[in-house]
Structure 1
Amino acid sequence: MQEELDSLVYDCNKKEDEVRNLKASLKDINEDRVRMERTINIQQSQIEKYKTLSEEANKKCDGFQQQLTAVEKELDNRKKLQKQASSSQSAIEVRLNRALEDVEKYKLELNKIKQNNKDLANEEYKKIEELKTENRKLEKQKGELMTGFKKQLKLIDILKRQKMHIEAAKMLSFTEEEFMKALEWGNK
């Protein structure tokens, strides 16, 4: 009986140890469960938050999709405009090249005209120089003629004075003769 009792006590102690261990495990499990519930709650709130963010992202994505569609349409329009612009640009380039060729042609003509004008200007300059030289000669001749004319005028003046002196001398000779006659007559 004692052995059985010891055995039962032993089993009982063993069972109590197991119960204590199970209680400790249960306590740990309950703590784990509480932690897990908290984590689940946190994760559920995060899931809700992420759902909200996902919905917002989906809305944004829809908005971006609409913007992308609008941008693609605008890109197509721009491509069409660019094609039109490039075709008009090529036409403008052709016209520009023609205009540049015309400009080169006109430049050549202008250079020829300038050269002709230079040649004419050189000829005119030579003519002007010749005319200036001739003008100086004529001025010199004019000066010589004026000098000769002045000398002739002086000679004419001198001749007039000489004529006056001769006439005065004749008059004096007449008066002298008459005076002599009068003297002679008075002596008679």
Structure 2
Amino acid sequence: MKLSSALQPSSHEPKRDKKTRPYTSAGRPTASASRGVAARRSPSKFKTTTATTATAGPSSRRPRTAGALARSVGSVGGDEFTRGDPLLQAVDAGELGDEAAVRVLKAKLKVTMEQMDAATEELKAVKNELQSLKSQHKDTSKEATKEKKSAQAAQRSANQMKRLLDDMTGKYEREKERAKDLQAEVDAMKRKAKQESAGNQGLEVRLNRALEERDNLKLQLQKLKERPAQASDADLKALEDEIKQLRKQRNEVLEAFEKALRLVDVLKRQKVHLEAARALAFTEEEFIQALDWRQLE
């Protein structure tokens, strides 16, 4: 027998009070509550049976017994529906009246619907939490990607700075060696210039003496020219010797002058090297300051 036909109201049944509770005094669902559960489980069958009953008319209705209702509940719910519930087992065994069985089934339906609503709300909360976790995971993934890109960019910048620092360090070492070589060359030139300066002082003394002797010889030559033509051969020979000596002294003076010119050139080159050494020293200080600035960063 179908549960929908079993749940049709009987003409012999008294009207139920609206205040009737869906639970018995023992706290179990009433038969009406259990019958509501069965109706919710098979609404199409319920509608079909209702239509059939309506067309059949009042004369075709038959009063239902507790056993018929129990068989209807058993055919719909089976053993799984009544297992563990003494009231439902009593309904299935036909031990309760029709009204009591309906109240039990309605109460069972209400409890089941409440459990289903609670499960639905719990499922909705779980879905919302899952969606929130997915959104958080997505945001975290984006943030991790950004952090990874930022770390890669910082690593590339650090590698570039390291290469630049290595290049500057190598250049600094090369310039330092070059400055050392130039400084050694400048020191050697200073010593040489000092020696040549000491030699030039002696040359200047000799040059002054030669000039004085030249002036004296000029005076003597002038006096000789003023003498009478009867000058002796001895005097002429002496004059020739003096002229030769003067020419020799003149050549020595010219050589000393050329040496002085070469010394001037050496001093000019020394000045250029000293200026280059100062420039290299200034560049070295700037490089050291740049290194200190990089370390402070």
Q: TM-score, normalised by structure 2?
A: 0.29
Which of 1 and 2 has higher RCO (CA within 8 Å, sep 6+)?
Answer: 2
More helix by share: 1
Larger Rg: 1
